[in-house]
Structure 1
Amino acid sequence: MTAKEPLPMKPFRIASAFALLCAHTSFAASLDHVSPESEGLSSAKLANMMKYLQTPGTNVDSVIVARNGQIVLEAYAAPNRSDIVHQVNSATKSVVSALLGIAIGEGKIKLNNTVADILPQYADLPNANILTVEKLASMSTGVEWKSEYFGSALNDWNKVRQADDWIKAYLSYPINPDKVGQFTYNSAESDLLGALISAATGMPLADYAELKLFKPLAIQNTRWVQNKDGQYGGGRGLYILPHDMLKFGELFRQQGKWQGQQIIPQQWITYSTQPRVATVGKFSNIPAYGAQWWVGKGWYAALGWGGQTIAVFPKENITMVMTAKNSLSEMDAIGLDQLHQRFLQSDSSAASDPAATQQLAAQISQFEKGVAASTLHSPLEKTLHNKSIRFNDFWLSKLKFSLDKEQMTIEFRPKDTPQFTEKIPTGFAGEWKYSTFQYPINDEWRKSAPDSLVASRMQWLDKTTLLIESFPPEEFVHYSLKLKFKGQKVFVEDSPWGTVAEGILE
């Protein structure tokens, strides 16, 4: 399937300092854009925060800060945009927490329910009669579990999710009595919570979320990936707009109430965001875990792999959202303690400072432009038309170029799926081209969304070195290929995996 018509790119918001801070006023009646000082925050500190968030390696691609329900800062690094949903990975767990609280409030599920109470078909498995909703929510079941990097063979969820009946497979893992009540990070338990909510409410998890959570908040643009058995993943899989991530955080900051309507019981907001268990080991840089929420010093947060963040600072009445594309786990992502202490302290005496306002506007503008690109051209550029590179021992088997009216189209063929070929338009000299991209249909992660948005560009670093970047704004990854042309030979100098490969231009 070829790329569809590119989506138009919204212009950068660079008209004025005030415009930078006050764009998107149609977001929601209760979430308007105002100056930081009007809400007791410092433009100078926020400017320094924006500079900090552009530190190499952070790869933050959007940030929104609201205080007292008013947005004081919003920015998107190109090619990200406010109208593009973003995968939030394990921040999905906190959405499941909200749905659990709603279901409890409706009397459809109880914290002391066991798995067997709700899914009686598993009652013959001992663990189904032991594991409770309460222990699953706080990840303190005592189940022996390895939660290494998701792609690792040591990750038990990678094993369980391949089973024909993943719930049965999970319930077969041993429970260590000495660890019951202690924290063990386990995404399968979040998935099981999702399955329990679905069974207790008689609705697919995504449908229940739409009815009870998304619709009341006027959240309309979401996508939720399904597991192998058709269940919606409770541990990850939700795609949502950064604006709507902010709404969700604000809902919790406002004790479950939205525009006068109690969406989530207030008791659940308190219960789920307070420390329920202390974290241990590699997770201990965040002190505690609630009920599918991380709990820090003066904040609680929904965190997802790669830097996806919905953080609430109750004392300051601040909600902060970030999406990112880094290689860091939830626990190693940008430190919320540091952001809180250095940049987000309120100051009721904060006065308007035109110089600081301009400083913040400049940092936002720089952030939104993204990583600068080379404007060089190469004599090789036009010679690449209808040429292909065939690779040996690389994840790509073929890369083909087509030049048409200053736009290059790349056709590529992965090594592992030779029957799959995709064409993507790319821009030159820093210009991003948007298109939709179809992943292999047998990829489980793409079942519910075979087409994904991708932004691509090419730039010459010198006369013989071409950098190709493919950036799926919805995802938390960023692919790049640096190609060095030496006659008919082409060398891949680096890639996201540090691979070095060689190809032939033909």
Structure 2
Amino acid sequence: MGSTRRAFVAQIGLSSLYFGLGAGFSKDFLLKTNSSLPRSTPAAQGVDAARIINFIEAINQSKHEFHSFMLLRHGQVIAEAWWAPYAPELRHTMYSMSKSFASTAVGFAVMEGKLKVTDQVIKFFPESLPANISPELQQLTIKDLLTMSVGHEVDTSQAMRKEEDWVRAFLAFPFKYKPGTQFLYNSGATYMCSAIVQKVTGQKIVDYLKPRLFDPLQIEGMDWETCPKGINVGGWGLRVKTEDLAKFGQLFLQKGLWNGKQLVSKEWVEEATSFKIQQPAPEKPTRPNAENDWLQGYCYQFWRCRNNAYRGDGANGQYTIVMPEQDAVLVITSESPNMQGQLDLVWEHILPAFDARNSDASAITNLKSKTAGLALPLEKSEIPAPWSKRSFQLEPNEMGLKSIKLAFSKGKCTLDWQGEKENYSMSAGLGAWKFGETTFPGNALTVKPTSRASGIRLKKTAINGYWKDENTFVLVLRYIESPHHDLLTFNFTGDQLELSFKNSLTRVNANNKDVRPILKGRAGSI
């Protein structure tokens, strides 16, 4: 631990470094795995701590579910928080925040002379071309992929995911516009960037980035989903930690310079984060265009923001926001139905914090107090008197679950599931989170499930259970390396059980319906 780090710990105490520390995570373990970003205080870096407190209060009063944030000024972490059960050492699904990393892989390939952004896409895949090559496909360049100006009418990723060969499916997709002329958000375009880098380097982009980006930034344990052909999907699927995002943002704020070494060329950083194409305005805007962070221009898989900032972002609220004028970086992980609303909170509370003329050192105490106990809501209840153990035989169902046994004791519920091919065991805290891992079926944990690809099977969980009433038991099953959670509602009537599932994705994405069946069963021995 460096001198700056030791001084900060001495000044404000360990608990405020990891505000969201929950049961099951050791402080000693967190110290040993702490990464290398230096820490400071808001006051020391000329930032108003009271504004940060207001930001946290506004979050807690909003409908946004934040899992973490980290704020840097002048290269130093001045505020960080995790809402339990989320914690510093956990990775988090990045969704389209992954695109900015994919763009950086293209940047390295350009720097090494392996490709140019003006290269035609078709030259990399002669074996996958359609029989008839349209003029638009002939003209399509890597730059058009990077700027989401391919010329398609709809995002290609949904159709691609139904196929075994995604490259071939993308190249066969019809065009409506001349490439480079119309912006359309298109995750298939980012996938093609990944496929091109793999074609010219012989490595998946997660492996290609390791010695060039991840290792120098001391980012470890990352993983990235692949398509059925073993290519990183590029446009989504990356998982990294909150602090890893902060390092990535700080690298770009420093124009690619890290510990005295130019990792990414200054020219690429400026090219990748500068305005390239204007997004079309909605026909019925809900706010002035100048106040819409999705209408400030698109770059190379980065977005321009208001206030001369830029960002990478991902579905449900995964952010790396770079603010050059303030020499600051803010990163966020969350599950939110309103990403613009999250940015509104940033501009309302965080942006004015950098204008602090009088840095009040005493405010750090209030900030520590405010953040030390941050946690997502946790329901508590008593166990109804008749309950200790019960078993239920389930009717045949699509999930392949045959039976379930529930056992209640003080502070804990154990659930043992028998499946057709596999058995599953879960432990839920009653009034607390119980941490574990599961392969329980039925939740893809993603807005864009990757067809027939290497998905995330063993999932880290935090589980809490509570009695809604004497006949209704609810299990809150949080998949703590993703933004999402499940609600399992057990309704008991006599010797009958009815079990329903609800994924939190149905709250943040109206198009994502939970398709799992309602399970029915009858009490009996197993």
TM-score computed with the length of structure 2 as normaliser: 0.82
The 1:186–1:341 alpha-carbon spacing in structure 2 relative to 1, beyond 3 Å, is same
Alignment of 1:464-479 (within 5 A): 464-479=471-486
Comparing 452-461 with 304-313, greater Cα deviation is found at: 452-461
Summarize deviations over 1:188-244 as a string: whole Å, max 9, x none: 000000001111223222210112111111111111111111111111111111111
Summarize deviations over 1:68-96 as a string: whole Å, max 9, x none: 11111111112111111111011110001
What 5-or-longer segments of structure 2 have no aligned partner? 1-8, 19-29, 507-512
1:432 alignment partner AA: K
Q: Which residue of 2 aligns with 1:132?
A: 141
The 1:16–1:310 alpha-carbon spacing in structure 2 relative to 1, beyond 3 Å, is same
Match 2:105 to one of 94, 99, 121: 99
1:455 equivalent to 2:455? Answer: no
Contact 2:396/2:402 (8 A) holds in 1: no
Match 2:491 to one of 484, 489, 493: 484
Comparing 256-265 with 488-497, greater Cα deviation is found at: 488-497
The 1:17–1:374 alpha-carbon spacing in structure 2 relative to 1, beyond 3 Å, is farther
Alignment of 1:286-297 (within 5 A): 286-287=294-295, 288-297=297-306
1:188 equivalent to 2:188? Answer: yes
The 1:485–1:450 alpha-carbon spacing in structure 2 relative to 1, beyond 3 Å, is closer
Following superposition, the deviation at residue 33 of structure 1 comes to 2.0
Contact 1:307/1:323 (8 A) holds in 2: yes
Following superposition, the deviation at residue 494 of structure 1 comes to 7.4
Count of residues paired in the alignment: 473
1:215 alignment partner AA: D
Q: Which residue of 1 aligns with 2:273?
A: 273
Could you tell me how far apart the structure 2 residues matched to 1:58 and 1:254 are? Answer: 30
1:408 alignment partner AA: C
Q: Which residue of 1 aligns with 2:520?
A: 503
Contact 2:147/2:298 (8 A) holds in 1: yes
Could you tell me how far apart the structure 2 residues matched to 1:439 and 1:195 are? Answer: 30
Q: Secondary structure at the match of 1:468?
A: strand
Could you tell me how far apart the structure 1 residues matched to 2:117 and 2:458 are? Answer: 39
TM-score computed with the length of structure 1 as normaliser: 0.85
The 1:313–1:118 alpha-carbon spacing in structure 2 relative to 1, beyond 3 Å, is same
2:424 alignment partner AA: E
Could you tell me how far apart the structure 2 residues matched to 1:443 and 1:424 are? Answer: 26
Could you tell me how far apart the structure 2 residues matched to 1:502 and 1:208 are? Answer: 45
Could you tell me how far apart the structure 2 residues matched to 1:326 and 1:420 are? Answer: 34
The 1:163–1:321 alpha-carbon spacing in structure 2 relative to 1, beyond 3 Å, is same
Q: Which residue of 1 aligns with 2:385?
A: 379
Match 2:93 to one of 87, 99, 106: 87
Could you tell me how far apart the structure 2 residues matched to 1:357 and 1:445 are? Answer: 50
2:331 alignment partner AA: V
Contact 2:65/2:336 (8 A) holds in 1: yes
**Identity of matched residues, %:** 22
1:246 alignment partner AA: A
Could you tell me how far apart the structure 2 residues matched to 1:358 and 1:427 are? Answer: 32
Alignment of 1:3-42 (within 5 A): 18-22=13-17, 27-29=34-36, 31-42=37-48
Q: Which residue of 2 aligns with 1:177?
A: 177
Q: Which residue of 2 aligns with 1:199?
A: 199
Could you tell me how far apart the structure 1 residues matched to 2:455 and 2:474 are? Answer: 32
Following superposition, the deviation at residue 373 of structure 1 comes to 2.2
2:481 alignment partner AA: E
Comparing 395-404 with 293-302, greater Cα deviation is found at: 395-404
Match 2:369 to one of 345, 362, 366: 362
Could you tell me how far apart the structure 2 residues matched to 1:170 and 1:431 are? Answer: 44
Q: Which residue of 1 aligns with 2:312?
A: 302
Could you tell me how far apart the structure 1 residues matched to 2:377 and 2:452 are? Answer: 29
Q: Secondary structure at the match of 1:277?
A: coil
Alignment of 1:79-478 (within 5 A): 79-122=85-128, 125-126=133-134, 128-145=137-154, 147=155, 156-177=156-177, 180-281=180-281, 285=292, 286-287=294-295, 288-297=297-306, 298-327=308-337, 332-345=339-352, 346-354=354-362, 356-367=363-374, 369-384=375-390, 387-388=391-392, 390=394, 400-403=404-407, 406=410, 407-412=412-417, 419-437=421-439, 444=451, 447=454, 449-478=456-485
The 1:243–1:465 alpha-carbon spacing in structure 2 relative to 1, beyond 3 Å, is same
Could you tell me how far apart the structure 1 residues matched to 2:386 and 2:471 are? Answer: 7
Following superposition, the deviation at residue 57 of structure 1 comes to 2.9
Contact 2:165/2:228 (8 A) holds in 1: no
Could you tell me how far apart the structure 1 residues matched to 2:281 and 2:152 are? Answer: 16
Contact 1:457/1:470 (8 A) holds in 2: yes
Could you tell me how far apart the structure 2 residues matched to 1:296 and 1:503 are? Answer: 50
What 5-or-longer segments of structure 1 have no aligned partner? 1-13, 148-155
Following superposition, the deviation at residue 389 of structure 1 comes to 6.2
Could you tell me how far apart the structure 2 residues matched to 1:337 and 1:295 are? Answer: 15
Q: Which residue of 1 aligns with 2:59?
A: 53
Question: What's the RMSD between the two structures over aligned residues?
Answer: 3.1
Contact 1:433/1:457 (8 A) holds in 2: no
The 1:392–1:204 alpha-carbon spacing in structure 2 relative to 1, beyond 3 Å, is closer
